[in-house]
A and B are shown apart, each in its own frame.
Chain A
């Protein structure tokens, strides 16, 4: 596709529910990032993939957060046993390699 695609755009989850957020990066982009953006804040780094390898997951807030990119293209961010503090916009970005990042529209997660 022409840009980074994320789905769903909006997700409402009950506290304790598991969620899965999908990211389709720009074709051919080696690098893929997940960021979390709380209301009124800048995006905060969660994790990074180079192709299928997860090279940095230092930003994942807890072991309830898990990300994968098994074939080096589509990535999924999974959050287990969601809590209210997980409510945020989750942004996916891809880039060729250490160049400008192209962001998707994000998934707005609301935990109730």
Chain B
């Protein structure tokens, strides 16, 4: 089945520093979704990217989808303590109903 690999597994930053997590697949992805899961919480949808080379921004968050649609990244500028959590990429893999295959996630810790 389709797999998405996500790195790094952990990232510790000082508040105000930037953060980036990367998602890679050996096969072409039809789309990529990003979710955030706070400690003890459930995954919350952030965004979906569909087009090759697509870039979307949400305030301090920038999401990119690679030209070959095999990789994606999430970049957070000037992290805040509220950014703490696990960030997952997930792909629907081209299925007709949106079954998601998740990456392993990147656990972000922000030190004040």
Contact = CB atoms under 8 A, between A and B. Distances in A.
Given A100-B48, A103-B42, A56 B102 contact: no
Given A100-B33, A103-B43, A105-B41, A33 B105 contact: no
A97 B98 contact: yes
Say what secondary structure dominates the interface of chain B: loop
A95 interface: yes
B72 to A, nearest CB: 14
Nearest to B42: A103
Interface residues of A, number: 24
B20 interface: no
Contacts of A18: none
A45 B42 contact: no
A18 to B, nearest CB: 25
B12 to A, nearest CB: 16
Nearest to A42: B102
A102 interface: yes
A62 interface: no
Nearest to B4: A42
Interface string B37-51: 000011111001000
Interface of A: 31, 33, 35, 41-45, 48, 50, 55-56, 91, 95, 97-106
Given A33-B99, A41-B104, 9 more contacts: A42-B104, A42-B105, A43-B88, A43-B100, A48-B97, A95-B98, A97-B97, A97-B98, A101-B98
Q: Which 4 A-B pairs have the closest CB atoms?
A: A42-B102, A98-B98, A100-B45, A103-B42
22 contacts: A33-B99, A35-B100, A41-B104, A42-B102, A42-B105, A43-B43, A43-B88, A43-B100, A48-B97, A50-B97, A55-B97, A56-B97, A97-B98, A98-B92, A99-B48, A99-B98, A101-B33, A101-B43, A102-B45, A103-B44, A105-B41, A106-B42
